[in-house]
Structures are given as structure tokens and as C-alpha cells.
Chain A
């Protein structure tokens, strides 16, 4: 079975600070996808990024960056120069490439950016 753990339940920072959201996963499969989704107060789930298990390249998109390390089974998400609009619950998720297609989510991290 797959498991995703986001140990940080809540994080609160002041605007313009950098913040990293941690994600650790467990799976016996060697091929899988990892995702980050954002859930703002309005409630929808917004796709942010997908990584394949065989591609450990880190990725940067504007103020967002992701650090994927298979050796530690981690897929961490960093927001640089945070803004109030970044306030949301962020979910890390895993899906197998072969077999079950369901997303297995972590418990989520509630990020609050204070002005």
C-alpha cells in the first residue's frame, strides 16, 4: 500500500519569507507519480506539479520550486518570497504508474501567510 506523510499540519510565516513544505512517501512500486495540489479557502483543488519516479530533476516555476529525492523518499515544495495569496492547504499525493490510478493524498499542510 502507498502512504504519503506531510508532518507539518500548519505553518504560519510573514509575507516575503521563504517556506518549505515537506512530503515523505512510501511505496514498494518502483514507478509512480508524485503531485502537489493547492486548496485555497474557496475549496477547489488546483494542480501544481507532477514528477515521475524516474526523473529526479528539481523544478522551478516562478516563486515555486520542488526538490525530489528518491534516496529519502521525499518531494518537498518551497515557496520563495511568499505572498498572502499563497495562503492555502497544500496536498502532496502519489499515484502508481501501473495498476491502481487513484491518488493517495497526504494529510495536507495549512499555510498561512501573514501581511
Chain B
């Protein structure tokens, strides 16, 4: 079965640079979620989108922005990167139209800021 696709899988950036992470949800899933997992920590919710509209917002820094496109893929844009942004970034998707109970996660993008 098709899964959530995230690209790139690994990313190395310098401080103050920008980064764009992409997420392609499971086909027919209309809701996308972004989570950040620091080393040795649990995933923390950043933001979610349903039908291209922001549906919920968590502890996302103002330096980050995200959007969902007409084909339901989503992008997380990160600017003025800091060392503390080094983390594993997960995208998850769910079929909200059918209750959306379960979020299925992608493999994650591992971001390292030097």
C-alpha cells in the first residue's frame, strides 16, 4: 500500500539558511500534519491542514511556515535556521472525510543545522 512520502530524507544546512521540506500524503488523504522530534524526545505537533486550510496550530516558530496545495501535498518552509532546529521532521496524513481517526506517518526528514 502507498505510504506518506517525504523529501528530502536528509538535509544539512548552515545557520541562518532556509529549508523546504515536502510531504506527499497517502492517496485520498486530505489532512496533513507536521511534527518535530528532537533527539531523544517525543514528537511535537507543529501544524495541520485540511483541504488546503490550516486546521490546527501547535508550537511552530514564527520562522516556520507551511501550506497545503491543491494536490494535497504540503511544504514546510523554515527560515533563519538555528542549531536547535536540528531534528527529525515527520509528516502524517489521515482521511478526515472518513473520520480521520488514525494518522499515518512518513519516514521523516532528518535536518541537521551546522
Given contacts A45-B43, A45-B90, A101-B31, contact A50 B101 (CB under 8 A): yes
Q: Kindly identify, within residues 90 to 113 of chain A, every residue whose CB is under 8 Å from any CB belonging to chain B.
A: 91, 95, 100-108
In the complex, A102 Cα to B35 Cα: how many Å?
9
In contact, A102 and B56 (Cβ under 8 angstroms)? yes
Chain A nearest CB, measured from B107 CB (Å): 5
Q: Which residues of A lie under 8 Å from residue B110 when comparing CB positions?
A: 43
Q: Kindly identify, within residues 34 to 82 of chain B, every residue whose CB is under 8 Å from any CB belonging to chain A.
A: 35, 41-45, 48, 55-56, 58
Q: Kindly identify, within residues 18 to 44 of chain A, every residue whose CB is under 8 Å from any CB belonging to chain B.
A: 33, 35, 37, 43-44
Interface size in chain A (residues, C-beta < 8 A):
20
Given contacts A43-B110, A45-B43, A91-B42, contact A50 B56 (CB under 8 A): no
SS class, residues of chain B in contact with chain A:
strand
Q: Is B112 on the interface with A (CB-CB < 8 A)?
A: no
In the complex, A2 Cα to B51 Cα: how many Å?
26
* Among B41, B55, B102, B103, residue most surrounded by chain A Cβ atoms (within 10 Å): B103
In the complex, A108 Cα to B55 Cα: how many Å?
26
Question: Which of chain B's residues has its CB closest to A100's CB?
Answer: B56
In contact, A102 and B45 (Cβ under 8 angstroms)? yes
Q: Which residues of B lie under 8 Å from residue A50 when comparing CB positions?
A: 101-102
> A-contacting residues of B (Cβ < 8 Å)?
31, 33, 35, 41-45, 48, 55-56, 58, 88, 90, 92, 94, 96, 100-108, 110
